[in-house]
Amino acid sequence: MAKKHRRFGALHKALKDTGYQATSGPAGEYLKFLQGTNKIVVARRPDSKYLKRFNVGVTPFDIDVPTGANVITAYQGLITVQGNNILKAVTGITDSIMGIERDLTKTKEVPGFYAALAHITIAATGQTPSKGNKTSGITKRAYTAINTRTGGVPYGRSTGVTDSTGAAISDLSKANEEDSRAFIMNAIKGKTFGNWIVKGATFTPETHPESGTFGVTLDASAPTDIPSS
């Protein structure tokens, strides 16, 4: 419930001002939403074949890049078919820019690792929706919107981007998330690629599993009894 209040702060305040007794208008419709009568319906839900996930590799930002002959730097992450197709459609970005490795023999399997994601929203060009062509599932008000698709694309350290000064990054160990994020955003936001225009992009940082403890053996001097109190 708390998340709904933050997301719909103005509606919740309007409802609260009625003593939670509204029966009509946006506040009343919002109350119906909280009660489960009004529902958000996800229109144009992609077919399951577009939501299937597969692995690609990226070199994490938050670990030191290992060095040495034939060293593996990339960890496996996940991408959906739809996300992959959006990556291909938005030609302003490439596997190189995103730091994506598709040869899984050159990646590590690290349970609990989640790659950073660029959530890219695109729309077909030339859409001219009629006024009020959609209806809110919460307030039941008509609004105007175009149809979009969004896909999460993993990204990691890359020598395909530039740093904050515009200089090319040649050393993978010097690549950082801020530079990659800025480069990706500048390369795509508001731009048209073929039949698609990028309407926006948001970013989710990578996460790592908690550090584990390994290789510790029982101390020979450890007690063998169980404490009585």
- Residues 13-46 have pLDDT tens digits of 888 888 888 888 888 878 878 888 888 776 778 8
Residue 200 domain-assigned (yes or no): yes
Amino acid symbol at 54: F
Structural domain tally of the chain?
Answer: 2
Is there a single domain that holds both residue 29 and residue 88? no
Look up the pTM and report it: 0.76
Give the pLDDT band (50/70/90) at residue 226.
Answer: low
Q: Is 149 domain-assigned?
A: yes
Same domain, 185 and 73: yes
- Does one domain contain both 28 and 53? no
| Same domain? 135 vs 198 | yes
3-class DSSP state of 220: coil
Backbone dihedral region for residue 218 (phi beyond 0: left; psi -120 to 50: alpha; all else: beta): beta
Tokens found for residue 207? 């996460």
List the domain range (segments joined by +) for residue 21: 2-35
Q: Sign (positive/negative) of CA torsion 79, 81, 87, 90?
A: negative
